[in-house]
Structure 1
């Protein structure tokens, strides 16, 4: 009889424990992190680094990731289907906070939850207006905007020009593909103060052959080429195959008569000599902190104002700089090395 009672009590204890665990898990606050791209994409990978710096120790939160893989599959039909899949995940999980990163995540998924009574949206990586997504009028949305670091780009161009005895008012052209993303970047860049540099605007191309022709004679009209978006260049007017980004960057760096500066930190990995880009770590960290403020601090969306990117990252290629006989102050190299963005 005693043994029977003991087994009964033990069984009841374990059942109670399991029920308690289930209840606790069910009541944990939930964050869904929705990426437009895939985790192997450098920008996405480094945003995750920023997110994890803030969220890694928060085991009391149910945190899940969803990737839409938009860089590898860029067709509108694929994006639409990826958006439907993402919305199914959102509906099933019902997160307290949806962190949506880059424009595809907004366009195909997050915007469908504006003014949702339970789900709060924190965006990151939007390089244009939030108006197309209805975020400017929504009562459940905040986030951090991505804006090109114009003043940092000007400082780098000025430093290179002065050290080389060139014009103290360097001219710069933004060379890009015809993507909407580069168009949004250009619209922002047009509104900024570039002094003492002279910003000459964006020159977009559809195919790689035309891009190469322009690059070869760029010194006739400018002192610097600013590059950022070149992943959607067709091989030629007749060949619609997309040219690998590394091929475009390496060829441009090797053949441009003027220095080439990337506007994303990973452009140096692709092949250009130097890059100044928005910090992906800041995008992730700010978004994560906003989510925590909503979940743990009891703040409302109205308490958390939309922010604009402030931090930037520098990446350098020692060999590419050497080929152009460009010597930068030691602080540039130190900055790049600190963030592990200094290439031999």
Structure 2
């Protein structure tokens, strides 16, 4: 489909042609196109495109008027819109009116022009024009019928039985659609649900996966709380039976679409208008219906169902994914093989699987190359990747990506940004920006301290970690924002320093918080574990999976949660939600891990409720 801008330019050319014609004749023939909906609505744009294709080189003056009744469904508004359309007719004085879709027919043509001398060509009226008393001596047109027979023929190839279900909103039109489908099929639908809100839609969609063998999906527009992004994700995970639709935009969450072609309606209406201008009365032109359809195959849903389409079929179909031709760039502050980074990518991929998203990964490698000059060089390389790849959304993980890439290069830019893994506080980077939202990473500090305090012999708290920006930020937040008094802090550079500090804290404090040690030079994991078993005297708490072997109790953050949230949020942005309208979130998932060896060493007994929730390591 050509863009709105393109056909607007072409409309300008049509008007110029009309002006030139007017210089050679008394009056250029006038056609008024009244659209029930609005510019930018896919169906309306398609009908308009078809009209423009036919009238492009004709000496006519075309005017387009939109009633905007899709975005404004209140009947009082539509009645007022019809009144305004009558004023446009009176002022423009068209020779022929093309009226598209039911609201123009119901509120404008039927009550005011059904027996007038003004020729009317309708299009897009659903299934039956007799509802409005059409045709008449001055009215003819093309009705719009769903391509349900070829759709069901395709669905049956992949269904395991004959039962057909329908899911739609609780409206008169939706029930009429279901009834029409049953009439076409020649039998009642096995199961039909008509729902009020998004929650019910999801519940009934899941129920139908077990109640029928194939599913016809109606139009969910108008549902309270409709969440298209969330439903696409749910469908990719939960689809069990082939689903089909006759609506073009619903193909994003259906296996197969057999779609009416809006341009066909526009072309037929425009040609018919020209015939009337040439002297053929509307009463001599029979009412017809659309014949053309476009087959759409959703490869994402096919993958989720384990279906492979016949190549002979795919050659004649539009092949799509729910997010075809969309790109995301994931900027990882660290490196492949780092548990946190790998977990984030796992979360991203779990959400983006079968969506059709082109995901590219670039790593700053700032754990292995921590010098600021190296990180800045990596950030500059990342900007080149952004310029070359041209992502629709950037996902930036952890503080170094924010500090050295997003803040200096993409703050308030045109590229939407979703961050994750920022420790404790995003305000230090002056977030949020108008193009940015994200998930802050917090440790379950209060949960850990609650358990440590119960088994400590005093109130003194110590901290041990690596001498890096993330650990320093964590310590500062714990001390100055959470106002937790810290007796002793060791931020070290080498493994020998780490062992010495771990030993010292056993005598200098009553409990220890072990923050991240990744980046400590010459780190030896097995030696660290052995060292902890030998010297531990006080309970030690931690927050990372790589720390749980030298800590008594750990509440481990989930990198997968951060990745899943970031991917889901990026999809919402692709579906039109502004980043500034998405609140910054905080991670909520923690895994409780208890170290059985250190538990024995300290001779501590936790309560049974804690044991029942915990994972144990030796």
| TM-score band w.r.t. shorter chain | 0.7 to 0.9
The answer to whether the 8 A contact 1:102-1:126 is kept is yes
- Which string of whole-angstrom CA distances, capped at 9 and with x for unpartnered residues, describes residues 54-91 of structure 1? 11111x11111111112211111221111111111111
Distance 1:101 1:331, change over 3 A: farther
Residue 31 of structure 2 corresponds to residue 31 of structure 1: yes
Instruction: Name 1:108's counterpart in structure 2.
Output: 107
Partner in structure 2 of residue 279 of structure 1:
261
Measured after TM superposition, the shift of residue 254 of structure 1 is 4.0
Structure 1 201/99 Cα, relative in aligned 2: closer, same or farther at 3 Å? farther
Paired residue for 2:293? 312
**Corresponding position: 1:148 with 2:146:** yes
How far apart, in 2, do the equivalents of 1:261 and 1:250 lie?
A: 17
Q: CA deviation at 1:218?
A: 1.2
* Matches of 1:335 and 1:283, distance apart in 2: 21
Q: How far apart, in 1, do the equivalents of 2:164 and 2:119 lie?
A: 41
Alpha-carbon distance change, 69 to 255 in structure 1, aligned in 2, over 3 angstroms: farther
Asked whether the 8 Å contact 2:246–2:259 carries over to 1, the reply is yes
Question: Any stretches of 5+ residues in structure 2 without a counterpart?
Answer: 1-18, 325-355, 357-618
Residue matched to 2:315: 334
CA contact (8 A) 1:127 1:181 kept: no
Name the larger-Rg structure: 2
SS in 2 for 1:33: strand
Provide structure 1 residue ranges, at least 5 long, that are not aligned to the other structure: 1-18, 236-242
CA separation in 1, counterparts of 2:36 and 2:231?
A: 23
Counterpart in 1 of 2:610?
none
Aligned to 1:268: 251
2: CA distance between counterparts of 1:132 and 1:124?
A: 14
RCO comparison, higher one (Cα < 8 Å, 6+):
1
Partners of 2:67 and 2:251 in 1: how far apart?
A: 25
Residue by residue, what CA displacement relative to the aligned partner does 1:120-177 show, whole Å, maximum 9, x if unpaired? 11111111432332224x211110111111221122112223xxxx33xx32112101
Per the alignment, residue 185 of structure 2 pairs with 193
Say whether residues 1:288 and 2:270 are aligned partners: yes
**Using a 3 Å threshold, how does the CA distance of structure 1 residues 149 and 24 change in structure 2: closer, same or farther?**
same
May I ask how many residue pairs the two structures share in their alignment?
A: 306
- Name the Cα RMSD after superposition: 2.8
Partner of 1:240: none
**1:37/1:191 CA distance change after superposition, 3 Å:** same
Check conservation: 1:103, 1:126, Cα contact below 8 A. Answer: yes
- Whether 1:88 and 2:69 are equivalent positions in the alignment is no
Task: Give distance in 2, aligned partners of 1:272 and 1:338.
Answer: 12
Counterpart secondary structure, 1:291: helix
CA shift at 1:191, angstroms?
Answer: 1.8
**Which residue is equivalent to 1:4?**
none
Judge conservation of contact 2:191–2:212 (CA < 8 Å) in 1: no
Match of 1:230 in 2: 220
2:167 touches 2:204 (CA, 8 Å); kept in 1? Answer: no
Decide whether aligned partners of structure 1 residues 108 and 155 sit closer, same or farther in structure 2, where only a CA change above 3 A counts: same
Distance of 2:274 and 2:143 partners within structure 1: 18
Q: Is the 8 A contact 2:31 2:63 kept in 1?
A: yes
Deviations along 1:4-26, one digit per CA (max 9) or x if unpaired, are: xxxxxxxxxxxxxxx99767576
Relative to structure 1, the CA distance from residue 250 to residue 191 in structure 2 (aligned partners, 3 Å threshold; closer, same or farther) is: same
Pairing partner for 1:259 from 212, 222, 242:
242
- TM-score normalised by length of structure 2: 0.46
> CA separation in 2, counterparts of 1:46 and 1:21?
27
Inter-partner Cα distance in structure 1 for 2:37 and 2:234: 26
1:255-285 deviation per Cα after TM superposition (whole angstroms, max 9, x unaligned): 343222122122124x333211222121111
Q: Report the alpha carbon displacement of residue 253 of structure 1 after superposing the two structures with TM.
A: 5.0
Question: CA distance change for structure 1 residues 21 and 294 in 2, over 3 Å: closer, same or farther?
Answer: closer
Q: CA deviation at 1:248?
A: 4.3
Structure 1 match to 2:527: none
- Choose the corresponding residue for 1:217, options 207, 214, 218: 207
Relative to structure 1, is the Cα distance of residues 71 and 249 closer, same or farther in structure 2, using a 3 angstrom cutoff?
Answer: farther
> Distance in 2 between the 1:150 and 1:209 partners?
27
SS at match of 2:62: strand
Change (3 A) 1:25 1:43: farther
CA distance in 2, matches of 1:336, 1:39: 27
Structure 2 vs 1, CA of residues 253 and 338 (structure 1 numbering), >3 Å: closer, same or farther? Answer: closer
Seen in structure 2, the aligned counterparts of structure 1 residues 55 and 193 have a Cα distance that, compared at 3 Å, is same
Contact in 1 for aligned 2:155/2:242 (Cα 8 Å): no
CA distance in 2, matches of 1:21, 1:312: 37
* Alpha-carbon displacement from aligned partner over 1:12-48 (angstroms, at most 9, x marks no partner): xxxxxxx997675762111111111112111111122
Q: How far off its partner does 1:186 sit?
A: 2.4
Whether 1:67 aligns to 2:50 is no
